[in-house]
Amino acid sequence: MRPVSSTLRTKMQRLGLRTLRGEQAWAERAADILPGGVNSPVRAWNGVGGHPLPIASAAGAVITDGAGRDYLDLVDSWGAGIVGHAHPAVVSAVRAAASNGLSFGATTEAEVELAEEIRDRYEPAQKVRLVSTGTEATMTALRIARAATGRDVIVKFAGLYHGHSDALLVAAGSGLATSGVPDSAGVTKAVAADTMVLPYGDVDALTDAFAEHGSRIAAVITEAVPANMGVIAPPAGFHRLISDLCRNEGAVFIVDEVLSGFRAGPAGGWGLERDADIAAGREPWAPDLVTFGKVIGGGLPVAAVAGRADLMDLLAPLGAVYQAGTLSGNPVAVAAGLATMRLLDDDAYAHLTRVSTMMRRGVSAELASHGITHAVGHAGTLFSVFLGLEEAPVTFDDVSRQDALAYSDMFHSLRGSGIALPPSAYEAWFVSLAHTDEHVGKVVDAIIAWGGREAKQP
């Protein structure tokens, strides 16, 4: 297959600079008050060029910008919008909860119900602490692991993202990978020194790290399905190896399911492997601690750290690990999460599986028919497209060889066709219960339009 042409690159650079007047005016107003014009970096479109208009509303699979233009949404609030935007059952649950009071700073029955719902679907979540963001969840998981082991070192994998706490902003994915600056400024050398970074999927590097430093390692943290450098299928046996090494050396295995939890499949990325293990007659491995976010809040700020009861009981007020939050378990947010989870039955996962499979296969077939070199990374219902790669990547170095400029061109072309792709080649594409076969057809047609146009270039 041919790589994307240099003519296309030039065209892309032009496109990156091209901004409509209304968009420019909006970008200037926003940037005057919000750093970079945004409240989270990937929203700034630095990975694809140009400036987005603010979003005015969203319903089902469609998101509408301030100029009234509709886009088929493949971002879905970065995975949180799994049932589709403004689902009537979720909106009505939120209305009902809000009319009973917005926040009490005290425990509610719904918080307990949401925690039970999580445990019922994900057995290793024996106990659950609700927080407001994935960042808090992973940060708390590290604190529990360090308290439990009396050790300092955390192992993470290059290109994986676990939120923006200091210890985890080292060799990170998502917006940091997009910007090409994977280590954040402002993290002290001392904190960074306690984070050991290894290449994802590298069995030798992991085994050597434990052989050399095992007695200093408090925890290994990984995404159940890496999805913040594009979607990476975990290599067979890699998680079991981490689990075995952690158990043998007395370290804690933290599985981050903030993005993949109840999204990659009914029991997240872990559930996919559990099912495969059971089918193969193997005893499934289990995380010691697990973090959730996104789906469990249904679009409002709810996240969780969960796991083995003995570890979770180290949290205050039972134990000496302090963690707290004024708005933790907020009743309105919890209502959105509960209503969302209750929509996620077997039929829902069958739908998500069918639509996501049709979409990744349809897009790949069209790219192939235009002779465009690409690979598709996927695990369960999660997927993303890597342009310029011959095979699905595993490490951050593999991913870095993708053609991000070609992605930008595809992004803008599809935008012109009324489709909102993630504004970075390093993010997953998300579908929801509101996405239909017709929507898949629309995306495939848009790829045809883009690939066709590109193919006509000299």
Ligand X SMILES: N[C@H](C=O)CCC(=O)O
Ligand Y SMILES: Cc1ncc(COP(=O)(O)O)c(C=O)c1O
Q: Active-site residues: which are they?
A: 161, 256, 294
Of these partners, ligand Y, ligand X, none, which one is at the site of residue 42 (CB under 5 to 8 Å by kind)?
ligand X
The helix/strand/coil state of 429 is: strand
- Residue 228 interacting with ligand X (CB under 6 A): yes
Residue nearest to ligand X (CB): 40
- Residue 383 interacting with ligand X (CB under 6 A): no
- Residue 57 interacting with ligand X (CB under 6 A): no
- Residue 47 interacting with ligand X (CB under 6 A): no
Q: Min. distance of Cβ 268 from ligand Y in angstroms? A: 11
Question: Please, which contacts does 70-74 make with residues 24 or more away whose CB atoms are closer than 8 Å?
Answer: 70/418, 71/415, 71/418, 71/419, 71/420, 72/418, 72/419, 72/420, 72/435, 72/439, 72/442, 72/443, 73/420, 73/432, 74/419, 74/420, 74/421, 74/422, 74/429, 74/430, 74/431, 74/443
- Residue 454 interacting with ligand X (CB under 6 A): no
Query: Which residue lies nearer to ligand X by CB, 229 or 286?
Result: 229
Binding residues for ligand Y, per CB under 6 A?
133-135, 138, 161-163, 223, 228, 256, 258-259, 293, 303
Range 410-449, binding ligand X (CB under 6 A): 427
182 vs 255: CA distance, rounded Å? 21
Of these partners, ligand Y, ligand X, none, which one is at the site of residue 133 (CB under 5 to 8 Å by kind)?
ligand Y
Q: Min. distance of Cβ 136 from ligand Y in angstroms? A: 7
306 vs 267: CA distance, rounded Å? 14
Q: Min. distance of Cβ 282 from ligand X in angstroms? A: 30
- Residue 78 interacting with ligand X (CB under 6 A): yes
Options 42, 130, 385, 434; binder of ligand X; rule CB under 6 A = 42
The helix/strand/coil state of 223 is: strand
Of these partners, ligand X, ligand Y, none, which one is at the site of residue 223 (CB under 5 to 8 Å by kind)?
ligand Y
Strands 252-257 and 62-65: unpaired
CB 432 within 8 A of CB 388: no
- Residue 80 interacting with ligand X (CB under 6 A): no
The helix/strand/coil state of 26 is: helix
Which positions touch ligand X (CB under 6 A)? 40, 42, 78, 161, 174-175, 228, 259, 427
